[in-house]
Chain A
Amino acid sequence: MTQPDGISLDGVCKTFAGRGRVVEALRDVTLSCPKGTFTAIIGPSGCGKSTVMRIALGLESLDAGAVRVAGEPPLEAARDGVTGVAFQDAALLPWRSVRRNIEVPLEVLGRKPDAAHVQAMIELVGLKGYENSLPGELSGGMRQRVAIARALVTHPQVLFMDEPFGALDQILRRQMNVELQRIWAETGSTALLVTHGIDEAVFLADRVVVMHAAPGRIVDVIDVPFDRPRKPPLFSDPAFHKVCDHVAEVLHGG
């Protein structure tokens, strides 16, 4: 028997009933992310890329198809603590300190927080010295790093990120991309990143999945050939731009 894929979606369909009309959010979405790979989903607003992630997390039901996360149904995988997740806008609890926010998933899973491990996560994302700060006292980039640390604290085999850097400016975003790549390489997890930044997707991912809207569907999967670890100068490499241009072409219906 072969090792199960990190994430696999097979023929997933999803419709939403909105004001008197039915919106076909996803049509026959099939995607598999082998263990230990980094996949990015890119597409225009409303193409259902976030819905794909929410289905894989078990936050949305699906109308047809099958989903497996590390070989298990999504909710079971979640309860077993296989997954880690970071959303757009850090979604931190404003009344908890950085440390206590990072401990939230452990509390939900009923695990005992290991102080040394939590501290290691805080240091991994470069927030040493801010353990007891409240989210309101942090900058946007720091809050996002807390969200990443929170996603990693459960030693996830599968890491989901929904536009984790969407609220950041371009400069900060690139810094965070470089750091995320380092962190992901250290943990060796399977990663799925939803984004609308082409350069972010190409810089981070092994494969870029391009989606179109109405109905939401996958139109192409583009391999990104660059060696790891990728360094910041890659952003200005002509080969990098060539891949980016290709993604943009597919994205705009080329």
Chain B
Amino acid sequence: MAAERRFAGLRNTLILLLLWEIIGQLGLVAGGALPPPSDILIRLWQDRGDYPGHILATLQASVAGFVIGNVVAVAAGVLFALSPPMLRLFRGINIAAFALPPIAIAPILALTLSGMAPRVTLAALGVYFVTMTATVIGIAQADSRAEDVVRAYGGSRWKVLRLVQFRGAVPSILAGLRVAAPNAVLGAILAEFGGGGRWGLGTYLLGSLGRGEPDRLWGIGLIATLIAGLSYAGFALLSRRLLGATKAVTLNAAVPTGKDDGGPLWARIGMALATVALPFVLWWALIKLSGAPAMIAKTPGDVFTYLFLAPSAETAQAKLLAALAQTLPITFIGMVAGLAFAFALAILSKLSPRFISGFMPVALITQTMPLVALTPLLVLILGRGTSLTLWITISVTFFPAFVTLAQGLALVPRSAEDLPRAYGASRWTELRMVTIPASLPYLFAATRLTVPRALLGVMIAEWLATGRGLGNLLNQSRGYLDYGMIWSVAAVSVILSVVFYQ
């Protein structure tokens, strides 16, 4: 049975490759923008001298960021699990870390830090949230009865953590690392997009975009995907070796909250204010600590001045609003379309389970792909128009939303589905009464998950291709050395993501 399925998978892949080859050879898509696989491989071989340097640079940044980000994340996760007030206090920062579009802060990092630091930072940011969440959840879900055993012998909080909770959280943390690994690669590549520099796959990709060499672009994309996929597979293998298989590919999009145990009103208001204020304090502190010149590095106060108080404030506001007016609608449309598509497909796949077993592997693979980093490839196929932006947004929202929904639906207990069926309900009644209501919570979860991605996708498309909206404003301001605007765009896009997420 398993062998048969593997054979079917292999067969499908081969058919797909063959189709691709034929389409490519005939130049059917966008006048040869989709080269046949054979050309891509040949080009890859011809370019083999270029790759080691670029790959090495990207790998260095990803690995360093992965290590740093995860050490911080696990430490933070343990702290949050032990202290719910700390978790509530850091909620603002955690959401910001999850929702901030890397492309928006890449130029800022390039301004304030030097060398590899921006890339490492973005890679670290890419892994922090996933691993932190996995740690908190893993520790919180530890077997409470086993905790009782340790406490019944007078074991301290630390003993409980060491003997029961931390070890119990290991599967969850490993699952987090698995999802985090491709994120680190993606973060590094995005930083290369936004930060310049000579080496790195992102730089290489960007440099080749202008020259219009589809086969090289596809080769780079292939390598980037391969690295991200291998890092995922490596951790998947590791956790299987260590624990026996556990399968969780999506990340949990819910920011863990400490239980709000009431307390007096002033304490709760104070906590809420502190939660909102903390990210700004951190921003301010980082600027002061980095010692970057005030010309370049703006504090929250500077950005406020730039947007509202300075003489040029009105022009700045107008520019920002115009850009927002271009970016927001398309983000919204793309996201809704992606979600609707995912929802419909997930519901329909319930009617035809064979479909889901065929499509799921593809959807899972895309989870490990640096999709947004492959934007240049889509530019080749779709041109630089609005449809490009839309397609990128749909593609970055569709797959994670579909996986979240499909996995959520798989959790609906059998008996809940059997009940209407036992009374002779039709497939549609069953859908209406059980499947759709059951999937709604996952739809909300998927929405939260995809909002930041949609914004990121749109901004990258704007930055690299369409020349509109926030992404373009960011790129232009970089050219004009308009640092106030760069910071403003970054701040606005982070705040937007956080607001949408909430």
A and B form one complex: yes
**A87 with B145: CB separation less than 8 A:** yes
Q: Which of B149, B154, B163 contacts A75 (CB 8 A)?
A: B154
- Per the bound structure, the CA–CA distance linking A29 and B423 in Å amounts to 50
Closest-CB distance, A154 to chain B (whole angstroms): 7
- Given A59-B152, A104-B150, answer yes or no on A89-B163 (Cβ-Cβ < 8 Å): no
Instruction: Name the contact of A78 in the complex, choosing from B146, B153, B164 (C-beta under 8 A).
Output: B153
Interface residues of B in 147-169 (CB under 8 A from A): 148-155, 159, 163-164, 167-168
Q: Are A59 and B151 interface neighbours, CB within 8 A?
A: yes
- Once A and B bind, how many residue pairs between them come within 8 Å at the CB atom? 56
Collect the chain A residues with CB atoms within 8 Å of residue B168's CB: 93
Smallest CB-CB separation from A76: which chain B residue? B154
Chain A residues, Cβ within 8 Å of B417: none
B121-154 near A? 1/0 per residue, CB < 8 Å: 0000000000000000000000101101111111
A189 at interface by CB-CB < 8 Å: no
Instruction: Judge whether B146 and A108 touch: CB under 8 Å.
Output: no
Contact of A91 among B149, B153, B154, B159 (CB under 8 A): B149
Measured CB to CB, the nearest residue on chain A to B167 is: A95
A58 near B154: Cβ-Cβ < 8 Å: yes
**Would you call B167 and A57 a contact (CB within 8 A)?**
no
Complex formed: what's the CA distance from A93 to B162 in Å?
A: 12
Name the distance in Å between A22's Cβ and chain B's nearest Cβ. Answer: 15
The residues of B that contact A208 with a CB separation of less than 8 Å are: none
Bound form: Cα–Cα A88–B148 in Å: 11
Q: How many residues of A contact B (CB 8 A)?
A: 26
CB distance A83 to B146 under 8 Å?
no
CB of A234 within 8 A of chain B?
Answer: no
B143 cross-chain contacts in A, Cβ below 8 A = 91, 93
For chain A, residues 166 to 185, give those with C-beta under 8 angstroms from any C-beta of chain B: none
Residues in chain B near residue A83, CB distance under 8 A:
152-153
B152 touches which one: A76, A85, A92 (CB < 8 A)?
A85
- Smallest CB-CB separation from A78: which chain B residue? B154
- A59-B150 Cα distance, complex, nearest whole Å: 10
Indicate with 1 or 0, residue by residue over A62-92, a CB within 8 angstroms of chain B CB atoms: 0000000000000110111101010111011
The reply to whether A79 and B154 form a contact with Cβ atoms under 8 Å apart is yes
- CB-contacts of A102-138 with B (<8 A): 104-105, 107-109
Chain B residues contacting A160 (CB-CB under 8 Å) are: 152
> How many residues in B have their beta carbons less than 8 Å from beta carbons of A?
16
CB closest residue in chain A, given B149: A91
Closest to A54 in B: B148
Task: Give bound CA distance, A105 to B159, whole Å.
Answer: 11
Contact between B153 and A81 (Cβ–Cβ < 8 Å)? yes
A193 → chain B closest CB, angstroms: 15
Cβ contacts under 8 Å, A75 to chain B: 154
Interchain CA distance A154-B168 in the complex, whole Å: 24
**Bound complex: CA A174 to CA B146 (Å):** 25
Selected from B146, B148, B159, B164, the residue in CB contact (under 8 A) with A59 is: B148
Q: Give per-residue flags for A187-201: 1 if the beta carbon is below 8 A from chain B beta carbons, else 0.
A: 000000000000000
Contact code string B72-108 (vs A, CB < 8 Å = 1, else 0): 0000000000000000000000000000000000000
**Which residues of chain B come closer than 8 Å to A76, judged between CB atoms?**
154
Q: Which of A79, A91, A105 contacts B145 (CB 8 A)?
A: A91
- A80 CB to closest chain B CB (Å) equals 8
- Considering the chains assembled together, what is the distance between the CA atoms of A89 and B149 in angstroms? 12
A87 to B168, CA, bound (A): 19
Is the Cβ of A108 less than 8 Å from the Cβ of B148? Answer: no
Give the distance in Å from the alpha carbon of A37 to the alpha carbon of B153 in the complex. Answer: 22
Give Cα distance in the complex from A252 to B148, angstroms.
31
Residues of A within 8 A of B167 (CB): 93, 95
B146's nearest neighbour on chain A, judged by CB, is A91
Name the CB-closest residue of A to B142. Answer: A93
Whether A108 and B145, one on each chain, are in contact in the complex, defined by CB atoms closer than 8 angstroms, is no
Are B163 and A107 within 8 A (Cβ)?
yes
Asked if B155 and A108 make an inter-chain contact with CB atoms under 8 angstroms apart, the answer reads yes
Query: Are B153 and A92 closer than 8 Å at their CB atoms?
Result: no
CB distance from A243 to the nearest CB of B (A): 31
Cα–Cα distance between A89 and B146 once the two chains are bound (Å) = 10
A58 to B154, alpha carbons, bound, how many Å?
Answer: 8
Contact yes or no, A85 B149, CB < 8 A: yes
A sample of 11 more A-B contacts (CB under 8 A), given A59-B148, A108-B155, A160-B152, is A58-B152, A79-B153, A80-B154, A87-B149, A89-B145, A91-B146, A93-B164, A95-B167, A104-B150, A105-B149, A107-B163
A selection of 25 A-B contacts at a CB cut-off of 8 Å is: A57-B152, A59-B151, A75-B154, A78-B153, A78-B154, A79-B154, A83-B152, A83-B153, A85-B149, A85-B152, A88-B145, A89-B145, A91-B145, A91-B148, A91-B149, A93-B163, A93-B168, A104-B150, A104-B163, A105-B149, A108-B150, A108-B153, A109-B153, A150-B149, A154-B153
What residues make up the interface of B, taking CB atoms closer than 8 Å to A? Answer: 143, 145-146, 148-155, 159, 163-164, 167-168
**A interface, CB within 8 angstroms of B:** 57-59, 75-76, 78-81, 83, 85, 87-89, 91-93, 95, 104-105, 107-109, 150, 154, 160
Q: Which 9 A-B pairs have the closest CB atoms?
A: A79-B154, A91-B145, A78-B154, A108-B155, A108-B153, A85-B152, A57-B152, A105-B153, A91-B146
